[in-house]
Structure 1
Amino acid sequence: MSEVVEPVEDGAAERPHRAIKSFVMRSGRMTEGQQRGLDLGWPKFGLQLEDGLRDFDQVFGRSAPRTFEIGFGMGHATLEMAAAAPEQDFIGVEVHKPGVGALLNGMLTQNLSNIRVYSCDALEVLRDCVADASLDRLLLFFPDPWHKSRHHKRRIVQPAFAELVRQKLKIGGVLHMATDWEQYAEHMLEVMNVAPGYRNLAADGRCVERPSERPVTKFERRGERLGHGVWDLKFQRID
């Protein structure tokens, strides 16, 4: 469930700065199930960036609370959330084809129809395909922390990201972020605590307890066994 940005080789600081993206291209072999998901699931549930602004009430065939997820990885948490909340709709974005195939295969296997999928840059989808003030939630779980100081500018959570998300959330809508890198949690707080139009939902103005609606991933369980922490942040759009 990791969104990342394009890699830049060390020593490339003199080159023109690339726009932040929500991914890095990765290769990977497709399993039979993942290929089945792409072959059979994509025609039913896949969406294209080129189609531009969408009426998601029309796409889903109903008006329902709507969640947008950036970087769903292999889709395990997305499937769990969608299965637990059939009255809600989910839009997931991931460029890693095996992950896209895995999510679609899971939808077919579990007979889920409340998810739609993009396989491209999530920030472009937000800008070009999602109407303003139309989302109830935006999820950013375990984004690439770019832990080296010289790479911090590549982190997706920046003032421009906060403003784009604010535009797309409804009043009262929530941006929910989670990270297992404490320094990135601090960075998120620094950006979001001064971002206009938001309220931190943590009682202490920092992080919230792990919300029950966020599934615990296999990766997270392994981290807990090794003594690693996870930080959840929730910010609500207030204007």
Structure 2
Amino acid sequence: MLAKNLIVSLLLCVLTMPLLAFNEEFNEVEVIERLNKMDCDVIKPRYTVIVKGYLKNYLLWNRPKAERIIGRSVLYFPIFEEYIKKYNMPEDLKYLSVVESALDPVAMSRVGALGLWQFMPETGLEVGLKINKYIDERQDPRKSTDAAMRYLRQQYRHFGSWELALAAYNGGSGRVSRAIKRGRSKNFWTIRKYLPTETANYVPAFIAACYVGHHFEEHGIKPTLPELDYQITETITVYDYLTFYSPF
């Protein structure tokens, strides 16, 4: 009987250990406290059911992805910060690319948005990017970032709110303007129900990305850094025909 009880106790320990670890990695009270104190210079963070879902995805269900994103940030955040400073924009806008592409410069959506900032072809052309059969500057980290900052600045000047500017970046200024008209308010959280689901959830996704960027260490997330050769690679612009063919 004693042996049977011991076996049952051991089984319970084994079964509950993952749950305990799960809870330690996402202590909701601590997360809310950190979120309320978080110094995000774009928008005032708030904790909602949707934000919670995105946070759990990063911190629990898809930690390897979060580790890769934090690792890639060493390559791309310095570029983002350069253009953010150039246009005098809030620094935490760099986390928007996490929402858009998970910091993958060749990411392509099912509808054809491409690059770190996920420009659609028509929008990319509108903001001055070259897109043709030879070149697609949506995949150029510097040129696409410059374009993204100019586009975000344009949306902010139009709506006067970063929440609305972010929503317009995702869903277009027309959809946001119609939601403002229907909701009779320029408060994102008030008009959110009049926006398409993806756009309505875009600001909560941004809040979650900001939180992870600020607090990944507290959750034990260890960045998966790119290979050193990739980190020290320099980029150049080629203006003439170039071939890598060698007969040897």
TM-score where L is the length of structure 2? 0.24
Q: Which has the higher helix share?
A: 2
TM-score where L is the length of structure 1? 0.25
Q: Which has the higher strand share?
A: 1
Larger radius of gyration: 2
